[in-house]
Amino acid sequence: MASDVTDADNGNRPTGPFSGVTVIDLSRVLAGPFCTMLLADMGARVIKVEAPKTGDDSRGYGPFLNGESVYFKFVNRGKESIALNLKNADDHAVLEAMIARADVLVENFRPGTMDKLGFTADAVAKLNPRIIYASCSGFGQTGPMSHLPAYDTVVQALSGLMSITGHPDGPPTRAGISVADLTSGLYTFSAIASALYAREKTGHGARVDIAMLDGMISYMIHGAMEYVVHGRELGRLGNGHASITPFDTYQAADEQIAICVGGDEVFVRLCKAIERDDLAADTRFARNRDRHTHQHALRLEIEGALARGSAEHWIGVIGTAGVPCAKIQSVSEAIESPQTAARNMIVEAGGLRMTGNPIKISGYDDPTTRRPAPGLDADGAAIRREFGNAGKGSDAAAGS
């Protein structure tokens, strides 16, 4: 593994499970950068390779603060940046020198792009047989759709997710976050971690192939169950659950609250809390299967009881009874909540507050302040010195 202290970063990275691991990050926008940000958070040295002049496409995405993209800053903290024109021979040599000494290469180009640039899996393996070569794309490196471009919404549409998201009387709906991108980033992160662990035993690198569509198909558990067992579509459920009741949002006197009852005993506690013990004795609601069959009738009974008090009142009463329930918070409320603060899930990088790292591991710090995202080519000169001044006279080094 590469040295943890370099000319480019002066040893200023956090320690973590991946300290000593060097990652070459050729990815852009969201899926790949989210993966490599997690690697950086966990101690890896991540060198982001960007196109000269423009850099990562997301540098042009809003919102902006002081003329700089917050989108870019949120998923590129803790990295270094070098601008390379990979069609230029000198810059090509710089990347080859970096690959020869790296542990991981991450890219999320459309399949075939890396091959055209001269960095096929075989070529990279010849430069460094121990490297983990990780590709994250819309549809993977194989299959009839592998050559097609993809964005998060396209993958949500193709995976079936949009068909089960939204209310029954509404249209298919995209999830409110870029879940396909983020999922594939997480799968790429876990695959890299697995491949690094395997390398400790085998001494060999590996080829990682992650597809956004594969990731979303793997999430379609409830829809797949309904199809393989009954041969039918799950359909849109609103906020309800495919097989558990009551497990939904319910209207109190002032606003809705989420109530989730995972078993018959919990249902008895809910009935007692809302002063409707009779519901637990009703044969329509005795077991989960019965409740699910009669979920609309049960909703009327529950909401009739909840109408007697505010959401805040019922959350206190129902929660005290040991029934999982919650206020439907806004994003701002979630960010500013004491629980979020206690878990260090809002950190600061370069003076900007942003979402933190949910991976907590004993023996390693979870700092409240992180290194900010780099400026374009901010570390280029130092990285070129480190890798033997390869491509010293290139047009990328001159910012062309």
Contact 31, 108 (CB under 8 A): yes
> Which H or E run includes 100?
helix 89-100
By C-alpha distance, which of 149, 141, 140 is closest to 216? Answer: 140
CA-CA-CA-CA torsion sign (389, 103, 134, 180): negative
Contact 175, 156 (CB under 8 A): yes
C-alpha distance across the termini of the chain, in Å: 33
CA dist., res. 150 & res. 210, Å (int): 13
HSE-CB at 80 with a 13 A cutoff on CA atoms is 23
Strand order in the sheet with 256-260: 247-251, 256-260, 325-327
Catalytic residue among 147, 167, 230, 241: 241
Contact 98, 156 (CB under 8 A): no
HSE-CB at 340 with a 13 A cutoff on CA atoms is 15
By C-alpha distance, which of 48, 46, 45, 47 is closest to 15? Answer: 45
Structure tokens at 248: 């939904």
By C-alpha distance, which of 248, 209, 238, 219 is closest to 160? Answer: 219
Strands 104-107 and 132-137: parallel
- What type of residue sits at position 268? V
CA dist., res. 99 & res. 227, Å (int): 45
CA distances from residue 153 to 145, 179, 356 in whole angstroms, order as listed:
16, 9, 25
CA dist., res. 342 & res. 21, Å (int): 29
Structure tokens at 240: 């309800």
Annotated active-site residue 241? The verdict is yes
Asked if omega into 246 is within 30° of 0 (cis), the reply is: yes
Q: What is the rounded radius of gyration, in angstroms, for the C-alpha atoms of the chain?
A: 25
Catalytic residues: 241
